[in-house]
Amino acid sequence: MDFEAWWLIFVPLLFGLGWLAARFDIKQMLSETRNLPDSYFKGLNFLLNEEPDRAIDAFVEVAKLDSETTELHFALGSLFRRRGEMERAIRVHQSLLFRSDLPLAQRDHAQHELAQDYLKAGMLDRAEEAFAVLKQTAFALPALRALIRIYESEHDWGRAIDAVDSLRTLVDEPVPQLVHYYCEQAQAALAIKPTADVHAAQQALTQAVRAAEAAQVAPDSPSLVRVAMIRAGIAGSLQDGMAKRKHLESILKQSPEFAGLIAQDLLAHYTESGDAATGLNLLHAHYQQYPSLDLFNVVFRAMRAQQNASSAWAFARASLQSHPSLLGLDRFLEAELAQAEQERGADTTVQVAVPGADLLLLRSLINRHTQRLDRYVCRSCGFQARRYYWQCPGCNAWETYKPRRLEEIE
């Protein structure tokens, strides 16, 4: 390759240009710096020394001197919000919005900040209004996400569904909780007094299944278990026993883990139709494949009531051996005591399972430990609850509860 020496002249030339540019930058920076008030540096210093209170005072001073500096107002506003000083945060952002000379992009930004202030302050009505204004702006996406959260917390499922639809027009983002919104609508329709709106509930469930298909929800997902459970409830209220059985048994097949939630209902259905033994056999077989404490409880009690004490104990012994569980033992003793009470009046000192042992004392000892374990637990925030929740009351996340008790998860 030929190399022409005269090209070398560009090297010092480029260096020279670089030096000039740097000098120009430094000069400009110095002149800008000289224009900044002292309070600005004081504030920065306090911030670096982790003294946010004094930093805020200094910055407020600067903001008073130089009311044009919008960036400083934004920074102050978010500092206030982070520290939970909501009134001050709201005031800063409102004052920005009152400015007639504020460019449109910054106006939207201020509106978004103000909406977040209201949300954090728990002023849901105002937050909702403030976010709604942003639907046609660059902040539409975060605004819609926030609106969905607000409608959810207000249990306004219709508007939550509309907001999800709007979100979908902007971004292809899965919103799996949409199925639950329709389930909530269905349950609300069923709870109408004095007469439930069964038709509306069924329509909402059809929408729920459609939403699940659109979101490609897994066939064993909790949301579809919920749909089947509500459908079973509706069938029961319409005295359609076969449909009720079909829906409950579909859960055993599709989502076997959830059997514990519906076992009692399914057994009751078989018992009402005069076929209690078939129901028990079905659940017993399911337990062999998918053991869980809730199912153990139902099967053991049914065996004790339908068959005899010795077969029920044999089942309990085998289960506790293969899955040692304090809670299982507790349930066993509880059922045993209840049965003893039923069979021999209120005299619980006469024992059935282990002659000579004081089951009442034994159970009270065990029960003290199992109280803590007898709970469902949120995988996201750790909130514990006695009943099963589709949405965590602690952190509002959906489907964070496994249909298993704490002892089985630990």
**For residue 250, what are the CA distances in angstroms to 174, 192, 253, 256, 294?**
25, 27, 5, 9, 18
Q: How far is the CB of 175 from Zn ion (least distance, A)?
A: 18
Identified binder of Zn ion from the candidate list 13, 214, 395, 409, rule CB under 5 A: 395
Cβ-based nearer residue to Zn ion, 276 or 381: 381
- Tell me the DSSP string of 256-276: GGGHHHHHHHHHHHHHHTT-H
Q: How far is the CB of 243 from Zn ion (least distance, A)?
A: 34
Is residue 306 within 8 Å of 277, Cβ to Cβ? yes
Unique residue bearing structure tokens 């609850």: 385
Sign of the Cα pseudo-torsion (19, 25, 31, 36, in order): negative
Considering only the stretches 146-154, 169-177, 231-239, 381-389, report the one whose residues sit in contact with Zn ion under the rule CB under 5 A. 381-389
Q: How far is the CB of 83 from Zn ion (least distance, A)?
A: 25
For residue 409, state whether it binds Zn ion (rule: CB under 5 A). Answer: no
Considering only the stretches 68-76, 80-88, 218-226, 372-380, report the one whose residues sit in contact with Zn ion under the rule CB under 5 A. 372-380
Residues comprising the chain, all counted: 410
Q: Which residues contact 122 (CB under 8 A, 6 or more apart)?
A: none
Distance CA 367, CA 170 (A): 53
Considering only the stretches 163-171, 208-216, 264-272, 382-390, report the one whose residues sit in contact with Zn ion under the rule CB under 5 A. 382-390
Cβ-based nearer residue to Zn ion, 47 or 381: 381
**For residue 260, what are the CA distances in angstroms to 216, 257, 297, 388?**
25, 7, 9, 11
Considering only the stretches 123-131, 142-150, 232-240, 392-400, report the one whose residues sit in contact with Zn ion under the rule CB under 5 A. 392-400
Identified binder of Zn ion from the candidate list 231, 392, 401, 408, rule CB under 5 A: 392
For residue 381, state whether it binds Zn ion (rule: CB under 5 A). Answer: yes
Q: How far is the CB of 401 from Zn ion (least distance, A)?
A: 8
Sign of the Cα pseudo-torsion (103, 104, 106, 110, in order): positive
Q: How far is the CB of 353 from Zn ion (least distance, A)?
A: 38
For residue 377, state whether it binds Zn ion (rule: CB under 5 A). Answer: no
Q: How far is the CB of 392 from Zn ion (least distance, A)?
A: 3
For residue 380, state whether it binds Zn ion (rule: CB under 5 A). Answer: yes
Query: Helices (H), strands (E): how many in the chain?
Result: 20, 2
Considering only the stretches 154-162, 262-270, 357-365, 393-401, report the one whose residues sit in contact with Zn ion under the rule CB under 5 A. 393-401
Identified binder of Zn ion from the candidate list 257, 348, 394, 406, rule CB under 5 A: 394
Cβ-based nearer residue to Zn ion, 56 or 392: 392
Three-state SS for 103? coil
Cα 67 to chain center, whole Å? 42
Q: Which of 195, 123, 133, 176 is nearest to 153 (CA)?
A: 123
Distance CA 138, CA 160 (A): 21
Identified binder of Zn ion from the candidate list 118, 383, 398, 401, rule CB under 5 A: 383
For residue 378, state whether it binds Zn ion (rule: CB under 5 A). Answer: yes
Q: Which of 32, 33, 89 is nearest to 56 (CA)?
A: 89
Considering only the stretches 34-42, 110-118, 138-146, 387-395, report the one whose residues sit in contact with Zn ion under the rule CB under 5 A. 387-395
User: Which stretches of the chain bind Zn ion, using CB under 5 A?
Assistant: 378, 380-381, 383, 392, 394-395
